[in-house]
Structure 1
């Protein structure tokens, strides 16, 4: 190996910026099986007890099972193609794409709930309360177990390099799975309240009204997930704290420097790539800028261009 090739090898680095989430992947796989089993139980119960409420909830749960399966598929694909050179900045965004697609399914679920709730308001149907309550309670228990399985790593904050700011770095694919489970749990809880209301006080209208409340809640969750995942997918994160940190580093350089171009985008849960172009009045080595930026551990792929301009 020549000195030149040795220097080149030293410059090369891995484009696997995210270590994956094996615990979340395994737990999501368990949740898929539990959800699919509960889906079959509800659809079977709906046919046996002639309950439209259970049938509707069973088919509604099928969309969750499909979306949760997508989450597992996204984890697998990100791991499977981690070393594929076609992915310029790694495969982490496959997980984000999974979360985004899953959020779209939440929108479909909300629409499904609205449609059937309005249908029931306009044309009420007799409900087999005892059987429906029993299966709804079982559904809630299953969903709470699933939520417990998916709780790890969901929605926590993390300190960065001693500078005191917080940066959210959810696993958005896990969050999507978690929200599908919460949507199911909310649906089961609202169904139990509505079914008891109908059984004890004859308030059959509670069932479709609770369905509308659940649809509104699911829509809010879906909106938040679509917003967060789409921002990552289209690289609309130039308002993140790390961008301000890059500007602070440039302001503290030993020579007068102006930012001609700056691009920062996410390549992992709390990892960012950065392209920085500077105009300076005196000689400045790009390596010294890279070294100054490296104090921020979330910057894992830094490209620096320095242009000297005596009139600046």
Structure 2
């Protein structure tokens, strides 16, 4: 067999993540709805002098950018899916978009804190009826977008073999877009509460205070998203259930072996790659251990290194 034929026989695709066309389509719709509502809320907030409504509008402007980034990530991941420069696929483009969106949320929270404190110290008259109408419309748009972006694929995954664990199948790019919309819906609710309270009881201070509360909510949700996406980007998966599953396979293997080294990282939604280094005195082949590990279907790329001997070699 020629060298080129051997290389072709050993080669295999590195596209580990399925595309999500429905999520991409709904994200595109959400961008359009959110952009229209952003303009309405910012203009309305300035015109009717409502800090809560204005904060919600600026908050929504960041969502337009974030949702646009999510849309771009889907397109880029699909376009470069077969590009050989991406050794383990393009899924992390989507994760990187989610991480960047979380950073944008942090910036929005800080802006909301600042603007609310300024308005709390220098209050101004508010046109409550008009501002409430716009806030209600904004809430309706947010709820429609949240319905479009709700991830129906966020579920546990179990196996038919003896070991059953839950594995993360979240679309982190879609989740980041969903969180942006949900935080916007929350700030819309807070704005409505503040405006109604101010109109009924003359509590003008409620408007900027709710802006501060909204900033706290935005900051807390963004920190959670940063942690999720950051773990994936830094390949911090050695605490995931699949790692213990790999250890159990080697420990219970009919071929007596010692696990010397193990590296596991995520390459898709609920999909992992691993490098396993094993010491054994038996005349075993890497394919035998690969076959044993393949019962865990979330392991989509397995590399096995065999060291001859009873103890692990010094690295």
**What TM-score results when the alignment is normalised by the length of structure 1?**
0.94
2:51–2:211 contact (8 Å) kept in structure 1: no
Judging changes above 3 Å, is the alpha-carbon distance between structure 1 residues 303 and 216 closer, same or farther for their aligned structure 2 residues? same
| Aligned CA distance change for structure 1 residues 51 and 207 (closer, same or farther; 3 Å) | closer
What are the Cα deviations for residues 189-244 of structure 1, in whole angstroms up to 9, with x where unaligned?
00000100000011111111211221111111111100010000010110000000
Which shifted more, 280-289 or 98-107? 280-289
What is residue 271 of structure 1 aligned with on the other side? Answer: 271
Deviation track 1:278-303 (CA, whole Å, cap 9, x = no partner) reads 11122111110000000000000001
Matched, 1:193 2:193: yes
Q: Which residue of 2 aligns with 1:304?
A: 304
Distance 1:39 1:286, change over 3 A: same
Measured on the aligned residues, the alpha-carbon RMSD in Å equals 1.7
Matched residues, number? 311
Counting only pairs closer than 5 Å after superposition, residues 140-159 of structure 1 correspond to structure 2 as 140-153=139-152, 155-159=154-158
Provide, for residues 120-161 of structure 1, a one-character-per-residue CA deviation record: whole Å limited to 9, x for no partner.
211111111011000000000000000000113364323244
Q: Secondary structure at the match of 1:275?
A: strand
Q: Which residue of 2 aligns with 1:206?
A: 206
Q: What are the residue-to-residue correspondences of 1:117-128 with 2, within 5 Å?
A: 117-128=116-127
Give the structure 2 partner of residue 165 of structure 1. 165
CA distance in 2, matches of 1:48, 1:218: 25
> d(CA) in 1 for partners of 2:209 and 2:51?
16
- Whether 2:14 is the aligned partner of 1:21: answer no
Name 1:253's counterpart in structure 2: 253
Gap change, CA 1:24 and 1:160, over 3 Å in 2: farther
Matches of 2:291 and 2:155 in 1, distance apart? 29
Which residue matches 2:241? Answer: 241
Show structure 2 runs of 5+ residues with no match. Answer: none
Q: Tell me the distance in 2 between the aligned counterparts of 1:177 and 1:244.
A: 32
- Give the unaligned 5+ runs of structure 1: none
After TM superposition, the score normalised by the length of structure 2 is 0.94
